[in-house]
Chain A
Amino acid sequence: MSTPTPTTAYTPEPVAPSPVTPTRTPQRLGDRVFSGLSTGSGVLILVVLAGVALFLVSESLPLIGADPKDLPGGNGLLRYLGPLVFGTLLAAGIALLIATPLSVAIALFISHFANRRLARTLGYLVDLLAAIPSVVYGLWGVSVLTQFLKPANGWLADHLGFIPLFAGPPSATGRTMLVAGIVLAVMILPIMTAINREVFLQVPTLHEEAALALGATRWEMIRMTVLPYGRSGMVSAAMLGLGRALGETLAVLLVLSRTGAVTFNIISRDNPSTIAANIASQFPESTDLDINTLIATGLVLFVITFAVNFAARAVLARRADFDGAAG
């Protein structure tokens, strides 16, 4: 079989093949089968996504008529769910707070500060961070980072203890919400950096050159052209990172010491669990109604992450439309 390759002499622009559909295609059997198969695959994806929602809902239904005393915790579903949702949001919030400025800075470094050869290598390194399995992050977090940050926990309690976040007393093991948030931040950095980098690279060169030609320094150029242009991209990058952090399981499961306490004190030993970590720790030993309860919490997690991702993608899509209109 001969493989057609593009000729070297003539390299056409990569164009989306929109205008190629002939007006009157002869309907061959092969064409119909192939187009049916590929359309079917597209529809199948929608079915799978709907299936995820449906199965989770159907497995949560038995909870509706159930006696609150039979549920784990013995106080009904909402009392069980509340601390978990709180913990999930808190951990993800800390991660986002740390990762957002860092990812913008890293993306800027790669897109506008490093030279091109170096930038490509650095891009690989960031991708490598993305490829590391979460269980490995968890192992590293609990055995290296907790030890490394233990003095920091103590320092925060001593010097910033008047802020409720750092009220202490600092955990002796170092397995605190703060450290879990930092591990999550490291884990969501790559995806956020990747999107920010994409957006920063799309900034029209003319804008940048115009700013430089007016005598702007590099930083002024970035502030005047790159950051305003990339604003919506940075927002959606942050939201995608948030989505990742909300659903991350293993790192939290391994790093965080979970007691179920609802507190903003992020350096003590009493911490709320997160939805995902709670499912992973309870599921293997659960049966019957406990499983239904865990699946219901999973449904809540699914709805939250779906909403966050939906919003993020909507922002990105609108941005793409806008760019298209602007030419």
Chain B
Amino acid sequence: MTATLSGARPPRSASVALPRASAQLPRWAPAAILGASVVAAALLLALTSFSIVGLVALSLLLFVVLTTVISGRVEGSRRAKDRLATTAVTSAFLLAMAPLASLLYTVVKQGATRFDTDFFSLTMRGVVGAGGGARHAILGTLIITGLAALISVPIGMMTSIYLVEYGRGRLARTVTFLVDVMTGIPSIVAGLFAYALFQLIVGPGVRFGIGGAVALSVLMIPVVVRSCEEMLKLVPAELREAAYALGVPKWRTILKVVLPSAAAGIATGITIAIARVIGETAPLLLIVGTTTNLNLNPFDERMATLPVYTYYQFTQPGARGFGIDRAWTAALVLMLIVILLNVVARLVAKVFAPKGTR
């Protein structure tokens, strides 16, 4: 490369190790060019027709062209390419964040309309137009997800214990591999599986809550296995060896030494797994159905759940679209539950993390 000696190089180069080129744009240059591009784009658009999308697109275009030309002149084409790549990657990231921002904004704004006490205390029984609530759906979701967790957590944890502590050879490899493949089962297929299973036991046209719990378990077990396995692997082998050296049997070592050491991580993993399945709609649509009444018995008849409630309120809003407001509020409640679970998981991980590790 062509490095010529020059005193113009700034005393401290940027944190990223760039080669020492002869000339370099000052650090404020990108910001200045960006500002100039935005102003120029705004002026251009003010003459024609103004829109936010147009402004962003035009500013970006101007910024890319100006930066590439100026940097190419001053720093050479390789630096210019580097700056172009930086701009491309950064704007790709911002582009991907735009749906998230828009989605959060829309859900909060639309959901606020019916975010009242009625929504949490009433059911949809006998409601045709305005009013009504989602008490039955919220409770239904909690019951079915709780049952799914009750099924998935023991199976998932024992499987991860098998994989980490006992599993050797072909069976363990197969289980590991298929657990990974299982994470990709479409949720609607899980619903069909639950339906086919319970149709054989109960009869055609079966709809009840426990079926939904089984369907959700199919989706949840692999997530629990994965996260528990990661956490168990992090427990240092020395802890196990110390226990064995004291004559503790293997199963007691696992129960009293390995699991408590990994408890925080496991709790985090399970919380994330619950958050992953609590918003599942498709399987519940098939096997649980929906109802307007409060049904708290998962072994008898249809139950309402929050995701399915959201779907039906949105697609069959009834007179004057009151249902659409209820659907958005249900979506908001669902999002709040999911975000809350994620925050709790992070807090657990942070507070109980073993000292000294990341």
Contacts and interface: CB of A to CB of B under 8 A. Distances in A.
Nearest to B346: A124
A1 to B, nearest CB: 7
Given A15-B236, A254-B315, A280-B188, A125 B162 contact: no
A70 interface: no
Contacts of B117: none
A12 interface: yes
B357 A11 contact: yes
A78 interface: no
Interface in B241-284: 241, 244, 249-252, 254-257, 260-261, 263, 275-276, 278-282
Most A CB within 10 A of own CB, among B205, B221, B250, B355? B250
A31 B285 contact: no
Interface stretch (B38-46, B59-67, B101-109): B101-109
B92 A101 contact: yes
8 contacts: A30-B252, A34-B250, A44-B155, A106-B92, A113-B89, A215-B3, A254-B315, A317-B177
Contact of A215 (B1, B155, B263): B1
A212 to B, nearest CB: 5
B251 A34 contact: yes
Contact of B240 (A20, A43, A129, A283): A20
A325 interface: no
B281 A140 contact: no
Given A4-B260, A14-B234, A113-B90, A140 B103 contact: yes
A106 B100 CA distance: 14
A45 B281 contact: no
Interface string B1-32: 10100000000000111110000000000000
A136 B81 contact: no
Interface string A196-207: 000000000000
B139 interface: no
A28 B82 contact: no
A158 interface: no
A150 interface: no
Is chain A's interface secondary structure helix, strand, loop, or mixed overall?
A: helix
A270 interface: no
A213 to B, nearest CB: 8
A35 to B, nearest CB: 5
Nearest to A30: B251
B185 A39 contact: no
Given A6-B261, A302-B189, 10 more contacts: A4-B261, A17-B235, A38-B158, A38-B162, A42-B172, A52-B218, A136-B310, A139-B327, A305-B185, A313-B180
Interface stretch (A163-171, A240-248, A256-264): A240-248
Contact of B19 (A3, A129, A217): A217
Given A219-B85, A309-B181, A38 B166 contact: yes
A136 B111 CA distance: 11
Interface in A7-62: 8, 11-17, 19-20, 22, 25-26, 28, 30-31, 33-35, 37-46, 48-49, 51-52, 55-56, 58-59
Interface string B210-253: 00000000100110010000000111111111001000011110
Most A CB within 10 A of own CB, among B102, B166, B177, B282? B282
B107 to A, nearest CB: 6
